[in-house]
Amino acid sequence: MTREFDAREGEFHVRDGARAGSDQPAGPVVPARASGAADRSASAVGVAEPASVFLTRMLDALAAAGDRVAFVHRGLRIRYRAADRLLRRLHAALTTAGVRAGETVALVGGNRPETVLAQLAAQCLGATVLLVGASTTRPDRPAAVAAGGATTLVLDPECVPDPADLVELVRAARPARVLSLGPLPGARNLLATGAPTPHPPHVSGDSTDSAAPATASPRDTRGTTGSTTPTVPRALPGTVRTLFTSGGTTGAPKLVAHSGIYAGMAHIFRPDPAGPGRVLVVAPVSHLTGNAAVLGALLRGDTVVLHDEFDPAAALAAIAAERVTALSLTPPRLAALLDHPALAGTDLSGLRSLSLGASPLPERRLRQALAVFGPVVGQGYGLTEAPMVASITAAELLDHPRRLGSVGRIVPGMEARIDGARAPGDVGEVLVRGLALMEGYAGRPDLTAAAFTGGWLRTGDLGRFDADGYLYLLDRADDVIVTGEHGSKVYPAVVEDTLADHPGVRQAAVVGAPGPEGALVHAVVVPTEPDPPPVEDLRAHVLARLGQEHLVPATVTFTDRLPLTPVGKIDRRALRP
């Protein structure tokens, strides 16, 4: 017997099916909101359809939008008509180069329109695409392409400025072909007309072969043969598969394989009744969040305002100048916008949606965001392995202030449970299953097996449900600090939120530090003024608010900024003493 939360009745009840000895974990199951179907995993998000529906809709959207602007990037405006031609041109060039269905294409690229269109072109051929971003560390790139079994490398020249980088990638992957999105010695330029195909660079020396690079502009969108526009076959593959490097903060990146999310995208991303939007993307398109944002915008016929990386001043300028309607941010990036001096003079009236996620958000910052941006702020919860788990709208937040700490209710097509929980409010690891779930970790069946328990993905996040089915996250299980001889637990987010309420604190991060009788609570604080507040004032503030000595930081250091991962999360590993 298991206790299940009924979304219609708003209460937990007993359900048959979990027998003694079953590997199904204990804890209430929370299905999607408004789920009335017999199969609670079925929903509008995940109608079982071939992934070719996604590709068909994408090609139709590119063709139908015509002269509407598809991309704004580095001051250039690329219309849908040109993007459509470029995708077809890349498709033809990949075909000519010998790329075939079933193989893996490693795409090493930054936030460029060409990177996105090359991904789609390879997927139209039925190839698995391994995305390796510009933010991926130099040692991790060869490891990723080797682990993914890539037979083709497609390189953004900006990501491999040093010939030694190319040699390392080729040494790791031993690819059948090396291609590029622009002139790059030793690679065939997919954007050139009639470019020769050089041999892959030598991997035994310190330099690459010097094939004469083609000089066609990367933004040239003419057909590959005169004025003829290449065609993409309508017999599209039934599977779209992508390998993402995990954006987590738990160590070396893993390759997360996804295919089921694409059928969901074809249903979720429909044209907005209010008209085409303008989506600002600051996350890496090689990571799932940024990738889904760009692909979803193209499916809707929106304009993608694509930034190479996050810069608060540039983001605020774009919001005003481009009349941005939608934006997704992590909590640290939201804080950077809220604290920027240019915010007060920025026209925010075009925003229809500001989505926040990736890590817990301090309640103070959420209240501030609602006050500044208005009733357009929502939160979501997901991870690379399960990108769509829960969400909450601005209306839900404004109507019920007590839910400001929640990441929302479970989205259609997904289920969640708290491992070991017996009633609302019980804390444990969040387990999820459903349609928006990874296939597994590519090439690592051991890691895949360890990540699942009876079909449920172990997220590594600690959380709780309230009686209405709203999920509240506390912290990563790995980040919990066990202090003192009695093993008292400290959730860093609780202390961080309390420190952030001090008028002298702009941001705070809490990690464990070695101590004589267990871990000590160590706080790293970004002060609001050049002269930081006294450490004893901060300690007294935490004790007064939380009332428990073991939650008070034993040590405090000050810094100008907190280190972030490429996807905008606080990098706790870099902060640990």
Is there a single domain that holds both residue 316 and residue 180? no
Question: How far separated are the first and last CA of the chain, in Å rounded?
Answer: 46
Q: In this structure, are 340 and 370 located in the same domain?
A: yes
Among residues 476, 511, 543, the one where a domain terminates is 476
Same structural domain for residues 456 and 488? no
pLDDT over 80 (residue 490): yes
Q: Residue 494 corresponds to which amino acid? A: V
- Alpha-carbon distance of 321 to 337, in angstroms, equals 16
Q: What is the pTM of this model?
A: 0.77
For residue 452, report the phi and psi dihedrals to the nearest 5 degrees: -115, 145
Which residues contact residue 449 at a Cβ distance below 8 angstroms, ignoring those fewer than 6 apart?
none
DSSP assignment of 346-397, as one string?
---TT-SEEEE-SS---HHHHHHHHHHH-TTEEEEEEETTEEEEEEE-HHHH
Residues 447 and 511 in one domain: no
Q: Are residues 468 and 432 in the same domain?
A: yes
User: Is the model's pLDDT at 170 over the cut of 90?
Assistant: no
Identify the DSSP state of 203.
S
Q: Which residues contact 425 (CB under 8 A, 6 or more apart)?
A: 464, 465, 466
CATH number of the domain bearing residue 561 = 3.30.300.30
CATH of the domain at 339: 3.40.50.12780
The pLDDT assigned to 197 comes to 41
Nearest of 261, 266, 280 to residue 384 by alpha carbon: 261
3-state helix, strand, coil in the chain (%, to 5): 30, 25, 45
Q: What is residue 319's predicted lDDT score, i.e. its pLDDT? A: 97
Give the model's confidence band at 231: pLDDT under 50 very low, under 70 low, under 90 confident, else very high. Answer: low
Domain boundary among 233, 258, 283: 258
Mean pLDDT of all residues in the chain?
80
Instruction: Specify if 527 maps to a domain.
Output: yes
Q: What's the whole-number mean pLDDT along residues 161-179?
A: 87
Task: Please count the other Cβ atoms lying within 10 Å of the Cβ belonging to residue 436.
Answer: 25
- Domain assignment present for 288: no
Q: Which residues pair with 570 in a beta bridge?
A: 564
Is there a single domain that holds both residue 14 and residue 144?
A: no
Asked if 153 and 171 count as a contact pair (C-beta separation under 8 A), the reply is no
pLDDT on residue 193 = 60
471 lies in the same domain as 511: no
d(CA 400, CA 396): 6
Q: Please give the Cα distance from 508 to 369 (Å, whole number).
A: 18
Angle CA(478)–CA(484)–CA(490) in degrees, nearest 5?
40
Same domain flag for 510 and 393: no
Does 240 share its domain with 356? Answer: no
Residue 74: pLDDT band (50, 70, 90) is very high
Number of independent structural domains in the chain: 3
Among 447, 476, 505, the domain boundary falls at 476
Amino acid, res. 201: P
In a domain, 281, yes or no: no
Q: What is the pLDDT of residue 139?
A: 76
Is residue 195 pLDDT above 50, yes or no? no
Instruction: Say yes or no to pLDDT of 22 above 50.
Output: no
Averaged pLDDT, 48-68: 84
Q: Which helix (H) or strand (E) holds 106?
A: strand 104-109
Domain identity same for 450 and 494: no
Structural domain range at position 83: 52-258
Identify the pLDDT of residue 99: 95
